[in-house]
Structure 1
């Protein structure tokens, strides 16, 4: 699977699975209803999905210009760090507003989510690549070593 179809399927699966983890965790951590935390999870997921599409497009554009296109452990870690770092900047203000907490409290909340999502992003993308194959940007160029 390649191109736009790959990006859409990857983002949708990633976010649907993530909402299944995040919504109950927020409900428990903040003593909120599942509907309240579910709305927040949908908002966070919508932002994350948009960021996912943009970040992956930029990452793959960068990746395609690299001498080696192999998705090494280092490259996968770089991908996860870049994605989660940018997402933190986007989500902290939304969480602070919705949960009616300070930006500092929202940052600490996001750090907890970040710890989970750092591992989740790595494992999810590895599994996704195993199931659907890697994108063309990660394939070796014939004749190049």
Structure 2
């Protein structure tokens, strides 16, 4: 299992890199001022950081309980990324709707775009993180 400092490093680095990529990209795509989109992205990233820590901790505990280690196959990485994004989408939808004062359908489409981006990003990031900072002991990624 990963240590608490390692989990914090993982969650914070995930969000910082994501903010730097997604803020200008989505301000341009959705034609909102960079400041408005930046506030929304930082609010979302703050919630996502906390959720990232809790979700990954629970996911690893379930893997350890069910399989005896936390190694993730490619199909398991896909399940991990999809579950993380789906639960985060449900948590953030009301915040996005409130902040941009727009319809839930519009926000749902925007959230789906964010989720699509972060789905791929989460898959690539966690794989890279596991490669650069492999878990120690019997959980070590081969």
TM-score, scaled to structure 1: 0.88
2:54 maps to 1:48: no
Which runs of no fewer than 5 residues in structure 1 stay unpaired?
Answer: 141-145
**Correspondence list, 1:108-123, <5 A:** 108-123=109-124
CA contact (8 A) 1:71 1:138 kept: no
* Residue 8 (structure 1) aligns with: 8
SS at the partner of 2:67?
Answer: coil
* Residue 143 (structure 1) aligns with: none
Residues of 2 paired with 1:102 and 1:22: CA distance?
22
Which runs of no fewer than 5 residues in structure 2 stay unpaired?
Answer: none
* Residue 63 (structure 2) aligns with: 63
Q: Displacement, 1:26? A: 2.9
> Bigger CA drift: 10-19 or 130-139?
130-139
Q: Cα deviation per residue 1:48-76 (whole Å; 9 max; x = unaligned)?
A: 11111110111011011123533111211
> Bigger CA drift: 117-126 or 23-32?
23-32
**Correspondence list, 1:53-92, <5 A:** 53-67=53-67, 69=69, 70-92=71-93
> Bigger CA drift: 8-17 or 66-75?
66-75
Change (3 A) 1:49 1:13: same
CA contact (8 A) 1:23 1:38 kept: yes
* Residue 124 (structure 1) aligns with: 125
CA contact (8 A) 2:27 2:37 kept: yes
Q: Displacement, 1:134? A: 2.9
CA contact (8 A) 2:85 2:118 kept: yes
* Residue 25 (structure 2) aligns with: 25
Q: Cα deviation per residue 1:57-113 (whole Å; 9 max; x = unaligned)?
A: 110110111235331112111110110010000111111111111111111111111
CA contact (8 A) 2:134 2:140 kept: no
